[in-house]
Each structure stands twice: as C-alpha cells, then as structure tokens.
Structure 1
Amino acid sequence: MPKSKATRPPNPRAATPVAAEAPAGTVSLPTGGGAVPITQQEIVSRLGISRGTLHRILVGSPLVKTSTRERVLRELREIDYVPNAVARGLKTRRTHSIGIIGPAAFKTSNIDKINALHIAARARGYSVVFGYSDGSPQAEVTCIRELRSKMVDGFIALSRGLSESLPHYKALQKAGLPLVQLYPLAGLEADCVYVDTRRAFADLTRHLIRLGHSRIALMLDASASQFTVNRELGYRDAMKAAGIALEEDWIIHATPDGSPLPPGGPRAGDPGWDASDYQYGFWGTSQVLARKERPTALVCFSDEYAIGALRAADLAGVRVPSELALVGYDDKEPAKFARVPLTTMHQPDERIGEAAVSLLADRIEGRIPTEGPVTRPLEATLVVRDSCGARARRE
C-alpha cells in the first residue's frame, strides 16, 4: 500500500496577504476597509490632465490656466490628496524639511525663536522637524541621529555650544549636510547667525556703571558653554574699560547650594538638574544677598534668572532698584509684567529666524557660491524699565 505524503499545516504568515508599499506619488485615502493608496497616474486619468500639468499645479507654477488650476485643486481637496513626501524624498533626495536641534522648547527664551524659525521655514517652502535635547551632549547626539533618519535637508542648531557635541556636528558637515548655528561653537567652522552676547553683556554692565554703580555682580548658569563664557567676557570688558577692580567672587554660577556643577551643566541625578531658570536665579541671588558686603547691582544670565532674583530680594527685604539694581537678557513677555518691570536686552528673534532659515535654505538650494562659512551677526538692544533705577533717577 503506497505511503501517503505528509502534508504540512498551512503557514499562517503565507495565508495573510501583505500590502505592497505605495509607489512614489501616492496618497492613502480613507475608506470603510482602511487606507487605499491612489497613484498620480490614477489622478491624472480621472482629471483628464497630464502628469506634467499636475506637477506644475502642485508646485505652484504660473504656466497653467487659472480655470484648470482651480478645477484640479478643487478635485484634489475633495479626495483629500496629500503627496507622498517620503517617496518623493527618496526619488529627489530632498524632503523640503529642516531639522532643529534645541534645548527645552517650553522655556520662555526659546519659544519666540522656535516660532520665528517655523514661520520663516514655511515662507521658504520647508517644514520643520524639532529634536528636543535636555542640554546634554548625549541627548544632542540622539537628536541628530533621529533627524538624519527622517532625511531632513539641513540642520539649525539652537543648542548652547557644548564642546562635547563638536565631533557630532562635524560629522554632519562631513556627510555633506548643511548646518547653521545660532550660538557659535568654538572649533566648528559652520554658517552662523547669532546675537553678539559678549557685546550685549558689556552694554548691560556699562549701563549700570553710568548709573553710578561699581559693585556690580554677574550671575550666570553653571555650564561651561561658549554661550555662558561670552556673557562673562562682556561683563569683564566693561568693568576693565571703566577701571573698576573686579572681585572674582562677584561672578556667581547659580546652583542650589553654591557648589559648582559638572562641566556642561546639571544632568539627571545632580543637585537641581530639573530646576527652572527662575529657581536658579532665586538660589544664586539668595547666596549673594547673604554676604556681609552685598553688590549694589546684579547682571543676570536671562530674564528668568532676573525674575528669580527679584523674588529672592523680596524675601530678603532688599528693595529693587533702590538697594539692588537688576538687569536681565532676552526681553520676553514676563520681563514686561514682572513686579518690577525688568531692564533687559532685546533679542531680535524674528530677524534671527528669518536670517537662519534664509541662510540654510540658500545652502540647500545651492544659492551660496562660497564654500567657506558665512557669519551673520545681529545686535541686541537695551530696553530700560524700572529694575535698574534709571527711571526713578530721571523722575
């Protein structure tokens, strides 16, 4: 009796049909049974136009009759057509997207810059992909890798110039990816749009000197970034030019207990690593006001630090500005509405966003003939309010 052949049970994977990837120029349309891709060829057949005409309409070319453009756009809206950007990017090696690497987006000092970058990018036809870092080199590396995986056309670095990040930014350049810095990083030859913080902090310090102050303290964050170093250099420039002998303990790096934090600023597990800048300003000023000989004026790292300083002065019974003049940096909304409105330096965020996106887009599109880095410095401007005491003196 012949042996019967053993039969294998059906492969459950083989029994399940696998959907093919949608070809370039497709879009998924919602239906009762799920998303169904429709190709550009199906669209042009349905509308009775050529693929060239469809392309010209999608890119906004004027070489199409107005009546045809309006009819096609109306039909595309009805079927909710969205071009497949990923497929198009694989074909053209361009995704018309910009990657932004930056610290906390929710911080007051960053909100306006990020908003300005979004608006400027949209005006140039680019979308924005934001990579959040917590200010640490490890997080920045993760951001860079994630943004590269999304095939962005170029990068804008909002980070504050940590030296540990230098090799990773150089790797971007080696890969041929355009990069624009908003804070110059020593050792990185890349396009840069920046506000001259050294000059800004010299201007703030000179303003206090003109008001008659000589015992002027400077409160900084705890990082060793170029962003922080430039503030200190500006303060030193003004004090030296005025012939004021500088006492090193007038320069305060604000931390919860007055002790220095690791290079690069606080990280998870360090004292105060998750604190806000308002808290750092409060802690730093509390330490200053506990000294036997107090300064008569305080230059603060940012407006947030200055608002924290204002709270510390209130609790210590020190009157602002008659006993302690305060100045900040950034000129965000909270500065205008603080209990004592802040004298500060105004950052031109809208111009920063426009200049950075314009420079990056020009690089991506090959509009800049030079291969060397392009630098576009911008200036902050002094805004005098009540916290420095200048208004009270005039009155």
Structure 2
Amino acid sequence: MTTIKDIAQKSKVSVATVSYVLNNTRWVHEEKRKRVLEAISELNYVPNAVARGLRVQKSKAISFVVSDITNPFYPDLAKACEDLAQTKGFTINILNTDDKPDRTQLALNQVREGKVDGIIVTSALEQDREHFQKFMEQGYVIVLANRFIKGLQVDSVVADNFSGAVMATNHLYQLGHRKIAFMPGIIGSSITESRLNGYLKAMEDAGLTIYPEWLTSGEARYSGSYNTTKFLLGLPEEKRPTAILSLTDIGALGVLDAATDLGISVPDDLAVIGFDDLFISGTRSIQLTTVSIPRYEMGNLATSLLLERLEKSGKPEFQEIVLPVELIVRKTCGKQK
C-alpha cells in the first residue's frame, strides 16, 4: 500500500510537505504542490482510513466544483444542487478551480480523504481524463455537469451546445449576414468544441467562407472578448465580420462594449449573439440575443444522479443526459437585411 513516505520520495519533498498538501493546512510552493499531486495520482494513493474501510460514518456533504466562481452562470447550478441536496440531509461546499489542474485534484482528494461523499464537476477539461478515470476506478463517485469528456464512462448532464450554435449561426444567416465570426473559449473544454463544431457545420451548410481570424478566442471572459472584438473589427473590410457569435454572454458583453467604444452600432453595423441567457442579458439596457442554457435543471439532474449513485454504488450503467436549448431573440441582431 502506498504511504505518504512513498509520495514524499517520488515528489522529492518532505513528508510534512505532503501532509500540508493532502490536508491543505499550509501554503506550499506551486511547483512542489504540483509534484506532490502528480505523485499522488501516479501512485494511486488513498488515505489509510478510507483505504482500510475504517470510516463508517458518511460526511453527508457534496463538493460542487466550478471553473470561475465570479461567473454568474454558476449560481443557478449551485442553487439547484443545494436545494435537492438539503432535502436528503446533505450540505454542499463550492470549490473554484480557475481551470487549474491542481485545484481539480484538490477537489478529488477531498472525497478520498472522506471530507465529502461525492463530487459534481462543472469544469471538466480533456486534461482531467486520466485523473477522473483513476478516481472512479478507486470506487469514488463523480458526476460531470456542463462540460463532459468524450468517451469517459461517467454520469453526465450537459446542454445541447452543438444544436445551439447551429441555431444561432443559422439565425444570423437568415438575417442576411455572410461574414460571421465565432469567438471560442478555453482549449480542452467540451463546450468550446461542441459550439465550435455547430458553428462550423452551419457555416459549411450555408456555403460560407471562414477566415482563420474569425476563430480568435475571447477566453469566454469579458476582457478577452473585448480585446478580440477590437481585433476583429479592425480587420480589412473583406474580412471584417458583420456578426459575432460569442461562446458566452459574459464574452458578448465585452463584444458590445468594444463595438460601442469603436463607434460601431449594434445591431445596425454588427450583430451579436451570446450563450447562457444570464439575467443581465435580458435587462432593458442590453437585450442580448442568446442561446438559453437550462442551468437549474442541469444542476438538479446532476445532483439527482450523484445521490442515486451514492445510494447504489454498484450500479453499472452510466447516464449521459443532453438537455435541449433555446434561441432567445432580442435586439442585438436586428431585423433581416
């Protein structure tokens, strides 16, 4: 059986440092923390109390992992999780990853150490595949929501992002736009891949040209999307888009502000569509056309799957739920040209 000493030797740190990382009790230099987490993963370390089956009391807690706690996309998912969990006597704790691998690993370790009984991850990236696979092989419970990892046998609840992007792109085409840019997000995210593929399919079906510049990432964040919009609207006229499909509503807000600062009228000179349908998107001063994601339903179903898996740990089949989305037409695309 792997011990803390084995991890210390492999990661070339002290036993005390390994303990600090495992228990999150002291600050550890990022490089050392990374080496320890890699050693834990490679050696399949499980704390002794859990590994020996000595822990008989459940924590009655769930860990809910998000990629950006400042993003208003996540509160509805978290509230749905909390609402259902409380009816079953569970509490939830929220862990923010900022899309950093070591933060996701910390969340997995909370389950291994018995601090929580299961975990819902809304921030899964392709680079997490091996960690999640080992985690499940060790008998722990995980559900993916919002993002999924293709081919990984795990319970998941996501939105139909591909169809959403097709609908949004087709809407712009039907309004007369032929120069439509798509603003991707983080690499390794199933959301980026699915929405990009939907956009590409719709553009191909319409016989439209796609310039490489039109696929410049806005990182799904306000500032990144603001800067990318300034770049796109500064392109030569033949490449300058008349419409931008943003990966998120937050990014779309950056698009709108950049257009305003450049003196470009929305929707007269530029059409804009987002994704998510956040509360702010429907306010009178913004009126953003967007693809609505059923966030509360997603959080509720993910929690239901997790609680069911905790009750029936030997259940062999995994569920992959894909929720329908809806295009919400407001004022940032205008009328048919």
How does the TM-score come out when normalised to structure 1? 0.67
For the 8 Å contact 1:120–1:353, the answer to whether it is kept is no
- Indicate the SS of the match to 1:233: helix
The residue that corresponds to 2:194 in the other structure is: 230
For the 8 Å contact 2:141–2:309, the answer to whether it is kept is yes
Alignment partner of 1:171 is 2:117: no
Structure 1 residue runs without a partner (length 5+): 1-88, 256-275
Residue 120 (structure 1) shift: 2.0
Quote the Cα distance in structure 2 between the aligned partners of 1:128 and 1:383. 32
- Indicate the SS of the match to 1:120: helix
The residue that corresponds to 1:354 in the other structure is: 300
Quote the Cα distance in structure 1 between the aligned partners of 2:230 and 2:138. 48
Quote the Cα distance in structure 1 between the aligned partners of 2:192 and 2:78. 20
Alignment partner of 1:145 is 2:96: no
2:274 partner letter: G
- Indicate the SS of the match to 1:236: helix
The residue that corresponds to 2:96 in the other structure is: 132
1:208 partner letter: L
Residue 104 (structure 1) shift: 2.0
Quote the Cα distance in structure 1 between the aligned partners of 2:284 and 2:209. 32
Which of 196, 199, 205 is the matching residue for 2:160? 196
For the 8 Å contact 1:191–1:375, the answer to whether it is kept is yes
**More divergent stretch after superposition (228-237 vs 135-144):** 135-144
Give the RMSD, CA atoms, in angstroms: 2.1
- Indicate the SS of the match to 2:254: helix
The residue that corresponds to 1:389 in the other structure is: 334
Residue 236 (structure 1) shift: 0.5
Residue 385 (structure 1) shift: 0.5
The structure that has the greater radius of gyration is 1
Runs in 1 of length 4+ with deviation above 4 angstroms? Answer: none
The residue that corresponds to 2:224 in the other structure is: 280
Quote the Cα distance in structure 2 between the aligned partners of 1:305 and 1:191. 29
For the 8 Å contact 2:66–2:122, the answer to whether it is kept is yes
Alignment partner of 1:248 is 2:212: yes
Residues 94-127 of structure 1: CA deviation (Å, up to 9, x unaligned): 2222122221222112122112211121123321
Structure 2 residue runs without a partner (length 5+): 1-52
Q: Percent of pairs identical after alignment?
A: 29
Which one scores higher on RCO, CA 8 angstroms, separation ≥ 6? 2
**More divergent stretch after superposition (302-311 vs 329-338):** 329-338
- Indicate the SS of the match to 1:387: coil
Quote the Cα distance in structure 2 between the aligned partners of 1:205 and 1:373. 32
1:181 partner letter: L
For the 8 Å contact 1:303–1:330, the answer to whether it is kept is yes
Residue 290 (structure 1) shift: 0.8
Residue 231 (structure 1) shift: 1.4
Quote the Cα distance in structure 2 between the aligned partners of 1:321 and 1:123. 46
1:169 partner letter: F
Quote the Cα distance in structure 2 between the aligned partners of 1:226 and 1:376. 14
For the 8 Å contact 1:96–1:126, the answer to whether it is kept is yes
For the 8 Å contact 2:222–2:254, the answer to whether it is kept is yes
Alignment partner of 1:94 is 2:38: no
For the 8 Å contact 2:222–2:250, the answer to whether it is kept is yes
2:279 partner letter: E
Residues 181-214 of structure 1: CA deviation (Å, up to 9, x unaligned): 1111124210111101111111111111111111
The residue that corresponds to 2:287 in the other structure is: 341
Residues 345-364 of structure 1: CA deviation (Å, up to 9, x unaligned): 11111211111111111111
The residue that corresponds to 1:69 in the other structure is: none
2:236 partner letter: K
The residue that corresponds to 2:242 in the other structure is: 296
Alignment partner of 1:180 is 2:139: no
